[in-house]
Structure 1
Amino acid sequence: MENDFIEMMEPTPKLHSKKCKLISFTIRIFLQFFIYIVALIVWLLFDYFIAIATLLLSFIIMGIIRSKIRNSVIPSKQREYQYSDQGIADWFTSKELCFEDNKE
């Protein structure tokens, strides 16, 4: 019998400084609401048919951006788990933008 062990999941990093929390919050808001803001602006400037097409296109583009961010910062052993926009923003801020000491 082989001894196969499942590695424990690393917790999402906790951000301690206000600057890092603000950056993470901004990234989360960008990931969640950018497609709706773009579609609303296009609807106000042009037509609602173009706005619907823009909404669909921006949904696809934001999915690609979200997956690129997610795959660049989350450890490879944990990529099978689902992460919310807040989790992706926390991981990205902790690994790429704020290099504070995460000892928790």
Structure 2
Amino acid sequence: MQDEFIELKEQTPVLHSKKCELTALALRLFLQYATVLTALVSWYLYDLFIALLALVLAFIIMGIVRSKIRNISIPFSQREYHYSDKEIAEWYTAKILCYEEQF
């Protein structure tokens, strides 16, 4: 029998100030809508073919950015769980951007 225990998922940190909440909201909106916004802007400025290429490229780049932010902010023991863009933004804001305000 193995004596390995799986730790429970930690709660997402609570943001206490309005500045931190707005920062987390801006980061969440960036993670959610940057891909589509990039494709729409390139479609408006150029044409549909360039917009489709921009959509694919932005999808790949945003996936890399999302994973980097997730790996920086979420504790190592909690990385096996799935996190939404909102939870990733709150973890990053609480652990990296608003660290001194948590204590």
Q: Could you say whether these structures have the same fold, taking a TM-score greater than 0.5 normalized by the shorter chain as the test?
A: yes
Q: How does 1:18-97 map to 2 (within 5 A)?
A: 18-97=18-97
Q: CA deviation at 1:6?
A: 2.1
- Distance (whole Å) between structure 1 residues aligned to residue 75 and residue 26 of structure 2: 22
- Distance (whole Å) between structure 1 residues aligned to residue 55 and residue 84 of structure 2: 21
Q: Is the 8 A contact 2:38 2:55 kept in 1?
A: yes
SS in 2 for 1:3: coil
Structure 1 runs not aligned, ≥5 long: none
Q: CA RMSD in A?
A: 1.2
Q: Map Cα deviations across residues 5-32 of structure 1 (whole Å, 9 max, x no partner).
A: 2222211101111000000000000000
Structure 2 runs not aligned, ≥5 long: none
- Distance (whole Å) between structure 2 residues aligned to residue 101 and residue 7 of structure 1: 23
Q: Give the length in aligned residue pairs.
A: 102
Q: Is the 8 A contact 2:9 2:81 kept in 1?
A: no
Amino acid at match of 1:46: Y
Amino acid at match of 1:62: M
- Distance (whole Å) between structure 2 residues aligned to residue 96 and residue 41 of structure 1: 31
1:16 corresponds to? 16
Q: CA deviation at 1:76?
A: 0.7
- Distance (whole Å) between structure 2 residues aligned to residue 51 and residue 24 of structure 1: 28
Q: CA deviation at 1:2?
A: 4.7
The two structures have a TM-score, normalised by structure 2, of 0.93
